[in-house]
Structure 1
Amino acid sequence: MNLLEPQRKIFETKDFTVSDETFDLYANAKENILITQPQPALDKLPNYYSSEDYISHTDASFSVFDKIYQMVKRHMLKKKAKWIENLNLSGNRILDIGAGTGSFLQFMFTRGWDIDGVEPNQKARALANDKGIKLQKDLSAVKGQFDVISLWHVLEHLPALPEQLEQIKKLLHKNGKLVIAVPNYTSYDAQFYQSFWAAYDVPRHLWHFSPDGLISLLKQFDLKLVKTHPLKFDAYYVSWLSEKNRTTKNPFKAFWVATKSNYQAKRTNAYSSLVYIFESI
């Protein structure tokens, strides 16, 4: 069964960041993955990233919001490193796909890791290069195999996803770990904001995963789940952006929704975003 084939329209949402265009979200046959329709042509896709608000392609620290984002990012670098270094690994070679401005790889390098990374955005690659981090433009330029491959909020962006997952699997050592962070559309904040939920982020996000959907998809590539971690700060970030999408811009409502989402997820594990660690078998 093709788990990424759109079957039934669920609702429509729009690109609140760049184009104001409307897109549909379709469920797959199992109704555990949502698919953006239509998906932009490959040569048009970069146009939808042309915004100063796309903070992962910059190291912006101008507004209060930027400063909070960068502060949380620094905190999360330590957590990410800890999660990875607590795994049972045979080596220390890591590949970060969608590496942005290279902050994660720079941090891992200071901890003694052998690093490599991929980032298609030229501006982000240039900022990484200024930090001494040389990133590849695409996966085809990557050589060898890795003990860890990470995709921090990247999998949902990848076109031709089955083909890219095949490439990623080939780059992973046997018993290597694949670390994936993605939003979870079954979270409370997603249900509350519905079509205004910022983590749908169409059409930059081509795929939208429930935990069951992601686990089922990766199982097709002989990757088994070994651990998950919540990304609790994401609920606050996404809820604030969702309030902006609704034009209400109510930070108190955003804080309330995010807090309730994290509270409910203590019981259900349906956090706004989750980190999944898979093992190659």
Structure 2
Amino acid sequence: MEDKILEKLTKCPLCKSGLFLTGQEIKDLAVSQEKFSICNCTNCGLKFTNPRPSAESIGKYYDFPEYFSHDDKATNLTQFIYQSVRKYTINQKVKFLTSLKPQKGKFLDYGCGTAELLSKASDSGWKVTGIEPNEKARSLANSKLEGKIHATIDKLPKTASFDIITLYHVLEHIHSLRKTLKLIINHLKSDGYIIIAVPNPESYDAVKYGEFWAGWDVPRHLYHFNAKSIEQIGDIFDLQLVQELPMYFDSYYVSLLSEGYADPNQSLVKKYWKAIVAGKKSNQEAAKRAGNYSSNLFIFKKK
């Protein structure tokens, strides 16, 4: 890809340690076909893409029709399945929000995409706000919730506070990791919750597919969180991890994408069947290995 502008990190973006090792190289199989190195922090356990595109240059790596969270319409079978599952999971997410805060209240979704979750939450009685940097997705979101979706967290009033803040598959995309987490926490009420969902590079499907694992998604995924690095988030930002939950559907979807990367010429039927088998196996293995699912959901509160 032309005009690639990379920034090289000299410290871990989470714990600021300079003790990290360069590990495997992963190819961007979705867009550019470029290879990116994954570094492993020996202090906090975080894996991070390094060097990586700068915040100003990374936009072009999102410019492909299969980036489904930025679109409302299904144009192929995989996207149709993604959006069908998303409708179901959104209902479950709203129920979970309400289980945490039965009185409901103010809800911020950071990286809200096209605001499907926020719209459902709003219909259920939550007062909603969204952050979405992608212009196309933000425009679609504001067409549903006019004036409630902002480009950056800096656009929020400094006094704005929320009962629940969610980052569903968002934290791995944020360039200014520590700064942004601090800003987010500043907008959390003293008895509020932060919910973070991230892919797991130590899951069964990650190991099975190796360099073809769709969860790497370099360079769009700047960070790759394991259990140790998630615990470090709690320690660094004075948060208490109160619950960890599996995201069962992710193993099937990630396996489907990974199958396409590993063998682009296989038949559609074979690809879907193998993805179903791999996704089921991933969930079964995670149940044996203390929650090592393809993606996990972490619920934090202030200490």
From 234, 248, 260, the equivalent of 2:281 is: 260
Partner of 2:217: 201
Runs of 5+ consecutive residues of structure 1 not aligned to the other structure? none
Report matched runs for 1:1-281 at 5 Å: 3=15, 5=17, 7-30=20-43, 32-88=45-101, 92-133=105-146, 134-143=148-157, 144-248=160-264, 249=266, 250-268=271-289, 269-281=291-303
Q: Distance in 2 between matches of 1:132 and 1:7?
A: 43
- Secondary structure at 2:118's aligned position in 1? helix
What is the DSSP-based 3-state SS (H/G/I as helix, E as strand, rest coil) of the residue aligned with 1:61? coil
In the other structure, the counterpart of 2:9 is none
CA contact (8 A) 1:4 1:33 kept: no
Change (3 A) 1:90 1:112: closer
Q: Counterpart amino acid of 1:136?
A: H
Structure 1: distance between partners of 2:131 and 2:72:
17
- Give how far 1:213 is off: 1.2
Question: Is 2:172–2:198's contact at 8 Å kept on the other side of the alignment?
Answer: yes
Q: Deviations over 1:128-181 (max 9, x none)?
A: 122234310001011211110000100000001011111111011112100111
User: 1:208-264: CA deviations, max 9, x gaps?
Assistant: 001221121232101111111111110010001011111244322222211110001
SS in structure 2 of the partner of residue 60 of structure 1: coil
CA distance in 2, matches of 1:84, 1:73: 16
Compare 215-224 and 270-279 and name the one that shifted more. 215-224
Equivalenced residue count is 281
Deviation by residue 1:50-109 (Cα, 9 ceiling, x = unmatched): 111100000121222222111100100111112221115775101000000010100000
**Residues 90, 147 of structure 1: 8 Å contact kept:** no
1:194 and 1:232 map into 2 onto residues whose CA distance is 20
SS of the residue 1:244 aligns to? helix
Q: Which stretches in structure 2 are left out of the alignment for 5+ residues?
A: 1-11
Tell which deviates more after alignment, 106-115 or 248-257: 248-257
Whichever residue aligns with residue 173 of structure 2, its letter is H
Q: 1:224 to 1:89 in 2, by over 3 A?
A: farther
SS in 1 for 2:25: strand
Q: Matched residues in 2 for 1:40 and 1:66: separation?
A: 27
Is the 8 Å Cα contact of residues 7 and 28 (structure 1) preserved in structure 2?
A: yes
CA contact (8 A) 1:4 1:35 kept: no
Q: Distance in 1 between matches of 2:43 and 2:278?
A: 28
- Contact 1:196–1:246 (8 Å) recurs in 2: yes
Q: Within 2, Cα distance between the matches of 1:3 and 1:192?
A: 29
Whether contact under 8 Å (1:26, 1:36) holds in the other structure is yes
Q: What is the TM-score when the length of structure 2 is the normalising length?
A: 0.89
